[in-house]
Amino acid sequence: MLNPIFVTHYSPRAEYGDIAPPSGSLIEKTISSVQSQVVDFSSDIVTDPLIVYNKPKDGHLQEEGAVYEQNIRDVIEDTEIELHTKLNEGLRPALQYALKKTSAPYVLFVEHDWEFLQNIEIRSLLEVFENNTRINYVRFNKWENSVKGNDTIVEETASYDIPLCKVSSFSNNPHIARRDPYTDWIENSEPSLRHVYRSLRRPRGSYSLQQIWRIFKNYYVLGKSQVKLFDGIEYVVDTKFKNEIRRLGFEQAHSRMGTYLYGGKMSGPHVRHLGR
């Protein structure tokens, strides 16, 4: 029923300390927390767990990137996880690749620097997905489940067999998603000029004029494939969702999107961002 998907890249940030790449310790810690708190990959509900490694495109980083790749292989040597390596073109191509390589009806997505802090009732959660087709996405919050950041609306619901909260956002933070709508979101998360217009009407986090100029110069003039806060899946999908909320109201927009937080109001945090 479930495909665990991890995405990693060579990121030797000082904030990671001794576990920073090229060490394999960062992703090892993430994988270990998923297996201990969410689901063991030898479980009968798991199939084809994989890591997509976005290796460096820059020539001067290729040697360090190769060391990191080998360290990842060492970490997963005795596990069920497969490693797939491709050039770093950003998160969207990595996720598109992973979704084409897998087929289970649900996806567990975790980037390489997260740790689960609480046990997740995974079988109960998947059963809720199975019995309620309007649930498309359940995120494990890095904060308590309350209005904060891009979570501009958080409403607890007692409609299901486990506590969940309706939420007005989409995030790359660790989550489980229903494959078909999720694939559509990723495929349709390419930025556009309409996206810039939508951003200007966001309740929080809209572009400034300075950011619009930076985006136009880098994406449309210089032709860069990755432009921060423009081509990211998270910001594009979340901005579309918030535009729908503005047009249709939260209840109708949410009934289409089906995004939830795991747990009731004020529960959590369920994960933490390593190194932050």
Is the pLDDT score of 216 beyond 90? no
Is the pLDDT score of 186 beyond 90? yes
* Predicted local confidence at residue 227, as pLDDT: 78
More confident: 162 or 227? 162
Lowest mean pLDDT among 96-100, 161-165, 190-194: 190-194
pLDDT band at 221 (very low <50, low <70, confident <90, very high): confident
Lowest mean pLDDT among 18-27, 44-53, 63-72, 226-235: 226-235
Give tens-digit pLDDT for 41-92: 999 999 999 999 999 988 789 899 999 999 999 999 999 999 999 999 999 9
Average per-residue pLDDT for the chain: 94
- Alpha-carbon distance 163 to 176, whole Å? 15
* Predicted local confidence at residue 229, as pLDDT: 74
pTM: 0.93
Task: Report whether 173 contacts 140 (CB < 8 A).
Answer: yes
* Predicted local confidence at residue 236, as pLDDT: 93
pLDDT band at 206 (very low <50, low <70, confident <90, very high): confident
Share of the chain above pLDDT 90, in %: 81
Beta strands across the sheet bearing 2-9: 82-87, 50-55, 2-9, 106-111, 175-178, 137-139, 259-262, 164-167, 154-157
* Predicted local confidence at residue 84, as pLDDT: 98
Identify the sign of the CA torsion 134, 242, 168, 214. positive
Is the pLDDT score of 225 beyond 80? no
Share of the chain above pLDDT 70, in %: 100
Q: In b/e form, how buried is each residue of 105-135, taking b as 16+ CB within 10 angstroms?
A: ebbbbbbbbbbbeeebebeebbebbeeeeeb
Cis peptide before 191 (omega within 30 of 0): no
Give tens-digit pLDDT for 110-122: 999 999 999 999 9
Mean pLDDT on 176-189 = 97
Domains and CATH numbers, the chain: 1-116 (3.90.550.10), 119-165+179-276 (no CATH)
- Alpha-carbon distance 166 to 168, whole Å? 7
Give tens-digit pLDDT for 187-199: 999 888 888 888 8
| Secondary element (H or E) of residue 53 | strand 50-55
* Predicted local confidence at residue 188, as pLDDT: 95
Is the pLDDT score of 10 beyond 90? yes
Give tens-digit pLDDT for 133-160: 999 999 999 999 999 999 999 999 999 9
Tokens 């989409």 found at? 170
More confident: 220 or 66? 66
* Predicted local confidence at residue 215, as pLDDT: 84
